[in-house]
Structure 1
Amino acid sequence: MKKTMNKHFVLKYIPLLALPMLLGLTSCHSGDQEFPDYGSTSVYFSNQGYVRTIELGEDLEVDLTNDNNHEFSLNAAMGGGYGNKRDIKVSFAVDPTLLDSKSFDDGTPMTLLPSDYYQLESNTMVIPSGKIQGGVKVKLTDAFFADPLATTRHYVLPVRITNVEGADSVLESKNYVLCAVKFVNPWQATYLRRGVDVITNADGTQTTEVRHAQYVENDELMNLTTLGFNAAAMNVSLKDASGKATTCKLQLLFNGNECKISALTEGFTADGSGLFVAKGEKQSMGGKDRNALYLKYTVSSAALGKSVTTTDTLVVRDRGIVPEYFTPKDK
């Protein structure tokens, strides 16, 4: 009888004794835990030298809303602690002295972005509570886009943090940024090129060459580059009697989506026109509707004794814009 009672006691009370232990284990694995934040917080610029390319037009891989509004965001970041529990206000100033005796990493000089080329939304950046970075909008003016030098890595906006509220300190080694700003127009891209060339020789004889791969992705690659807000450039080649190719640089001057074609290379003449059509090529590479440029033009060279009349279809493969960074160099 005694053994039976002990057995019943154990079976009845062991679960009650184990309950606090189970509750203790559960409390370790559920709910949002709060920890004391003993770490200090600091603000800084993540990169001291980078290029912000304003990409006009359309890119299937990137949202270009800000770019097409002619603006971008200059951002600061915070680090340290367990997170950002308050708005951090970062005061800054444009500091031209940051460019003193500085050049790009390839040795080319840096030029201060003229003050009439941009407008700052504010002189304070805000890193919102719960976020680790925040910034200020920079609006570029028409004067910036009218300058051909703005199509290259030339102009720099130098900014230094002057004060911070809501964080413990400024990371002194990263308290500044040199932001180089440039733009590309809507027609700069890598294209897939197909078409027909009618070659007329000095004696009047003609030959026809067709450029057309079975699959569009295997067509010839053609790069268009930015010359200005409304102008792009592309290279074509003409062959002499021996088959040696000579390159001619063409200018495409746009008015809306239409363009006129002329030659920029000495010794060549060119005349023609073209039309840029959004989603002009249906179910093209990757099964996507893609932007296309349709051109017809004639390029002639008296020295080579021939002219070529070309009908081209150029299908946008990609815009080719990649992140660019640089380490400022002492002159």
Structure 2
Amino acid sequence: MNTLLDFEKPIVDLEEKLADMKALAEQNNVDVSSAIKDLEDKIRMLKENTYKNLTRWQKVQLARHPDRPYTLDYIYDITDDFIELHGDRYVKDDKAMVGGFGSINGKSFMLIGQQKGRNTKQRQMRNFGMANPSGYRKALRLMKIAEKFNKPIITFIDTIGAYPGLEAEERGQAEAIAKNLKEMVMLKVPVICIIIGEGASGGAIGIGLGDKVFMLENSWYSVISPESCSSILWRSWEYKEQAAEALKLTAEDMLEFKLIDGIIEEPLGGAHKDIPFIAEKIKSVILEETAKLEQMGERERINDRIEKFSKMGHFEE
């Protein structure tokens, strides 16, 4: 059964009414085609008005939809073949971070991203998409392999944050993320980052420093989640909707702030409504942007990357 978000209930109610009308017409051999068409038009307009005017909190809900595609879903959809690589060569293989070589239209890429789970067992194994230091060191190892073999790097960002547990802190969570930032800015190969769901805090930026950064239409990107922000400011999660509005965390907000380079359109209702459609969109963006970046020299790409992130934010000297 598909998960229903609260703002989707009026749409589902009308769709159920339409199904009943069609069934009744068929049973009684009655022509109600005019009424059916009017109701279909009403449903279509309601969908467009609903999904094109979502609040920031509603977009957060859509980004967390349990049916939404995760990193491996996209990787297997856009690649002709994919070979997953494992381990950080220090401690372990972090299941919250996945990556490996894959070919898209005959061209090889290194694809890396956070992976969430579909059910309780998978969520525990994937640690809800929250990577430990081993995950970020694993990601960096794969990036260095890609650089060695001159292969472009694609990262898929979807996490509520880096794992904040005691073990993660003991093993150097902050250092692992900081080292990734330092190394990513100097990578000699093209780097494209795509936020496919949730992009929260250092957990997101740990694999998010690239030549080009894109967001899916219904994803979000912020220094903190709305719930955590609400709990800090109001000592309660009840103000998460106000926090989401204040954080300005949607793709449109990020593009306005010039923190990303573009928005990838999703099907009406979210990426999970038409996975082949959104996968094809992502594939096109990857191929087009990689072709542009490969026309530049290594030093030019690195300088542009440094300048791009150095210009973000406001400061005074």
TM-score normalized by the length of structure 1: 0.20
Greater per-residue helix proportion: 2
Determine which structure has more spread, i.e. the larger CA radius of gyration.
Answer: 1
